[in-house]
Amino acid sequence: MKKILIANRGEIAVRIIRTCHEMGIQTVAVYSDVDRQSPHVLMSTEAYPIGSAPSTESYLRIDKLIEAAKVSGAEGLHPGYGFLSENPKFAQAVIDANLIWIGPPVDAMINLGDKIKARQTAKRAHVPVSPGSESEITDEKVAKKIASSIGYPILLKAVGGGGGKGMRIVNKPSELSSSLERAMSEAGASFSDSRIFIEKYLPNPRHIEIQFMADAHGNVAAFTERECSVQRRYQKLIEESPSSFISRSLWKKMAECAIKIVTESGYVGAGTVEYLVDENKNFYFLEMNTRLQVEHPVTEMICGLDIVREQIRVASGKKLSLDEEYIGHRGHAIECRIYAENGFDNFIPSTGTIQELHLPDGFGIRFDHGIRMGQEITPYYDPLLGKLVAWGNSRKDTLNRMKRALKECHIVGIETTIPFCIAVISNRQFQTGNYNTHFIEKSFDELLRFKQDNMGIERELACAVAGIHTTNMKPEPTITNRKTTEASLWKSIGRKEGLS
């Protein structure tokens, strides 16, 4: 392939552009009106507008994406994650337009992307699956019946996609009706598919997943597990690999199951099998992600392989550049998702302009992001600004390095999850490696206390800075003086611009 269209935005579009350029492949970016100045547009070889800000008018418009690919002469299309990446209709439209779809075969997407079919596929492959509904929930009555048969609490989940969207936990029958309605509405908005199914709610699970790569020549490779139990609102916040909870022999079993599903479904490309693991180390198939995942860099850092590059190679019909089936690792890696959200205030999204940007760097640090100074963070899309990844020889070294890097990262003008991530990384429970998917809710008070304990002398300092700033910035009080100030400002602007 000589030219690839990336049907996405933000950090993942930037991430894919980087690998394409390293492979000597030209890139085609697409952008909505509010993304004209976004990094993926600036970095790409080519860029085409595809509509207005709401993603239904741009990044979810199959027709416009195909048209941009045709106009630009792109040979392949990479969907990234989110948006249309797990939509088999989109994949089919791409293939019908004689473009190479950088993703799994459409059949595999249908059978695995659809959460209900995925559970059936897993069962056929003899992979353990948790109790739940065998088909979609058509009405409340059916839901009530299934829920009481498997026992509350239960989980409502979207058939059409993941990421916590359209997901609701239901503790008792009285909550079922409104939760079902809300879940269906969210699922519809996020995936254009409002179907919901029911799953048994496991009390203290860890979220463990197996990333794999399969080529069209029958080669499969499964990587060391990723632990993704630090979640808020069912969305991952911090991921690491390897997991402190999973022995090599347990990993091997989970990896074998992943490969069984790949074989059963005729899967080709990159994918991830997600499991829930209970306290007794029983694991259950949770779902399959038929696309590149947000947290894929964690695996790249410990196995030394560019997963996007493998995706492109495989889509071109090439063999995997790996010759083993079970891929080991070197050291430890951890990822903190930097969202435009205030972690201590219910992860409320923050919008605004990035006034200044100082990013961490140095040995073992990687920051995959899609932001730049002066950029406007709008409420239209997912608030993920970037992913800070640290690598180290041991888990302890890696956590220390991550903390250093988080403290070095200054994204000025919006609130981010950096302070929250620092609190998590500094948390003793987290440091022991003994945590599950309830970590954030259970440790929230402790995390908040950590933050407040670190606000000693700095309170007064903040007052001093506000005082200095106010005093320094104040326009002079009289009209006469103000004119002078204006003139000198004009001069300083001129100087900045190089005019004087």
| Residues acting as catalytic residues | 291
Q: How far is CA 16 from CA 11, 222, 464, in A?
A: 9, 21, 44
Question: How far is the C-alpha of 351 from the C-alpha of 369, rounded, in Å?
Answer: 16
By C-alpha distance, which of 256, 340, 415 is closest to 11? 340
Task: Choose the stretch contacting another protein; rule: CB under 8 A; options: 124-132, 196-204, 222-230, 459-467.
Answer: 459-467
Among 9, 165, 206, 401, binds another protein (CB under 8 A): 165
E strand map for 393-430: 410-412
Q: Which is nearer to another protein, 316 or 454 (CB)?
A: 454
Residue 368 interacting with its own copies (CB under 8 A): yes
Q: Map residues 318-357 to x or -, x wherever contact with its own copies holds by CB under 8 A.
A: ---x--------xx------------------------x-
Three-point CA angle 247, 319, 269, nearest 5°: 60
- Comparing CB distances to its own copies, the nearer of 182 and 482 is 482
User: Which segment (15-23, 117-125, 205-213, 254-262) binds its own copies by CB under 8 A?
Assistant: 15-23
Looking at beta carbons only, is 19 or 437 nearer to its own copies? 19
Rounded Cα distance, 264 and 287, in Å: 15
- Residue 169 binds another protein, judged by CB under 8 A: no
Report in angstroms how near the CB of residue 21 gets to another protein at its nearest. Answer: 12
Residues 251-310 that bind its own copies (CB under 8 A): 297, 300-301, 304-306
Whats the size of the chain, residue-wise? 500
Asked if 166 and 191 count as a contact pair (C-beta separation under 8 A), the reply is: yes
State the binding string over 307-346 for another protein (x if CB under 8 A, else -).
Answer: ---------------------------------x------
Provide the minimum distance between the beta carbon of 144 and another protein in the complex, in angstroms, as a whole number: 23
Instruction: Please tell me whether residue 358 binds its own copies under the rule CB under 8 A.
Output: yes
Structure token digits, residue 11? 């950090």
CB of 221 to another protein, least distance (A): 33
C-alpha 74/C-alpha 68 separation (Å) is 8
Q: Which stretch binds its own copies (CB under 8 A): 60-68, 131-139, 358-366, 419-427?
A: 358-366
136 in Cβ contact with 199 (< 8 Å): no
Which long-range contacts (C-beta less than 8 Å, at least 24 apart) are formed by 56-61?
Answer: 57/32, 58/30, 58/31, 58/32, 58/33, 59/7, 59/8, 59/9, 59/30, 59/32, 59/83, 59/84, 59/381, 60/84, 60/192
**Which listed range, 122-130, 152-160, 253-261, 411-419, lies at the site for another protein (CB under 8 A)?**
411-419
Min separation Cβ 489 and its own copies, Å: 6
**Is the Cβ of residue 211 or residue 437 nearer to its own copies in the bound state?**
211
Tokens of 440: 């954030």
Query: Nearer to its own copies by C-beta: 48 or 367?
Result: 367
